[in-house]
Amino acid sequence: MITAQEKKRIQTEFQEKMDYDELLNCMRCGFCLPSCPTYIESGYDEAHSPRGRIALMKAVVDGDIEPDEDVKRSLDMCLGCRACEPVCPSGVKYGHLLEQARDIIYQNHQLSTSTKAIRNIAFTGLFPNQSRMRTLTGLLGFYQRSGLQKAARRTGLMKFLPENLRTMEQVLPEVPSLKQLKNRPDHLPSLIPQKKKIAFFSGCLMDSMFMSTNDATMKLLQYAGCEIVIPDSQACCGALHGHSGEKQQAKELARRNIAAFEASGADHIITNAGGCGAFLTDYDHLLKDDPEWAPRAAAFAAKIKDISSVLTELEFDKLPLELPEQIITYQDSCHLKNVQKTFLEPRQLLQSIAGGQYKEMKDADRCCGSAGIYNIVESEMSMQILDYKMEQVQDTMAKTIVTANPGCLLQMKLGIEREGLTESMRAVHIVDLLLEAYEYAREPVGS
């Protein structure tokens, strides 16, 4: 329950902090409605549409309604996929409005003890702290390799977990050992005559649980002609914090990252996670009220590029790439497409693989329901969205679903597991598939 006092505080802060020009900028034309996954999956409920949410935010500012549970519910239900932004003719920056509104609500509302505990562990304890992240990943590795995982599954311990978490446990990648996690490079040379100097944003989840994907990313960059700098003082991008109403922590992380990369002298800062990349490009907005950091944030944001974008720029798709015959389909990362506007490049790369038959699925750009921690906190809606997604995937008869963000990757793996398709289908990160194709094309015939 939100208490009367909390409501009052939330309302006052809405009036002080919400960007009223931006709220007025929504002309309520409704063009966003068909792009919104929660509007569609809720059976066309306006309260779960971008237009409805903006109207609610504005009504709270105007004092027409109180920020009650139903208003919070509407904002909580949003995936934050921002598919409404590219289709908005008035150019409303919905993502920024949502972040601000959630931040105000979460900073002023006493959460239940268990929710608070989960948020605390994730946002304060884990994500900003790379060594703890590594320890946890190490523990996970121990769990997977020691036989504990098998035992847990055998004894039926897992059935105490909710269904989606149980399945999630099964689809987590095999993680590297603690020792591997600690020996990360900070500089790598180009393997062909150098074309660019880039800095690599390794990301917290990507550099622990998905370390092999990060390694693949760097190999591709080396093959494509990049000298790579990996500043070791970099931190988590802060996206999870920013999207979940923990803006203050997101800002601190942003400052740390900007400082870490300023010294690199690189042409671009490369990411391989659509979610991180989008948040990094939004640093200028995040720090816009900080006179010292605003210009530095803008310079930083302008350098962010997704791996697929720099690879196409370096004509990686012109190199020999080959795979055994298979149908490949691509699931857009919402933030890569809607915020970074990168959606042609991954397709161009995938279409250049010999032996691969690229087939676009229907609504490839509709969110898969992963959305940060959404699939854990709003699992019912998330699974409903995933079910729709899996129908579209299956219509393509694809063997390989390609994604460009760790959250999407896990979610697609979850989808495959839930549909019982593990034998016939796999989900991979685009860089892993590209490296596979690069190496396969260079294998000696008959080997």
Partner 1 sequence: MLTEAVKRQLTAIVGPENFQDNKASLLVYSYDATPQFQSMPDAVVAPRNTEEVSSVLKLCNENEIPIIPRGSGTNLSAGTTPLNGGIVLLFKHMQDIIEIDEENLTITVQPGLITLDMIHAVEAKGLFYPPDPSSMKISTIGGNLNENSGGLRGLKYGVTRDYVMGLEVVLPNGDIIRTGGKLAKDVAGYDLTRLFVGSEGTLGVITEATLKLVPMPETKKTMLALYEGIEAAAEAVSSIIANRIIPTTLEFLDRPTLKVVEEFAQIGLPTDIEAVLLIEQDGPEEVVERDISNIAALCRENQAIQVDIAKSEMEADALRTARRTALSALARLKPTTILEDATVPRSKIAAMVRAINDIAKQYDVEICTFGHAGDGNLHPTCLTDVRNKEEIHRVEQAFEAIFHKAVELGGTITGEHGVGAMKSPYLHLKLGEEGIDTMKGIKQAFDPNNIMNPGKVFAKSERKRVVVQP
Report the interface residues with partner 1, using CB under 8 A. Answer: 21, 24-25, 27-31, 33-34, 43-47, 49, 51-52, 55-56, 59, 64-66, 68, 70-71, 73-74, 88-91
Which residue in 34, 37, 18 sits closest to 94, CA to CA?
A: 18
Question: Are the beta carbons of 229 and 198 closer than 8 angstroms?
Answer: yes
Answer positive or negative: Cα dihedral of 210, 102, 332, 337: negative
Token pair belonging to 227: 């000298």
Nearer to partner 1, 48 or 335 (CB): 48
Q: Give the separation between CA 405 and CA 272, rounded to whole angstroms.
A: 7
Query: 149 or 384: whose CB is closer to partner 1?
Result: 384
Nearer Cβ to partner 1 (18/286): 18
- Beta bridge mates, 102: none
Residue 26 CB, shortest distance to partner 1, in Å, is: 9
Q: How far is the CB of 249 from partner 1 (least distance, A)?
A: 28
User: Closer to partner 1 at the Cβ: 175 or 364?
Assistant: 364
Alpha-carbon gap, residue 19 to 174, rounded angstroms: 44
Rounded least distance, CB 308 to partner 1, Å: 21
Q: Closest CB to partner 1 among 89 and 265? A: 89
3-class DSSP state for residue 246? coil
By CB atoms closer than 10 A (0-12, 13-18, 19+), residue 213 is buried
**Least distance to partner 1, CB of residue 236, Å:** 33
In whole angstroms, how close is the CB of 137 to partner 1 at the nearest point? 40
Nearer to partner 1, 45 or 267 (CB): 45
Contacts of 426 (CB under 8 A, 6+ apart): 399, 400, 401, 416
CA distances from 251 to 58, 185, 280, 338, 407 (A): 25, 27, 11, 22, 22
Q: How far is the CB of 11 from partner 1 (least distance, A)?
A: 13
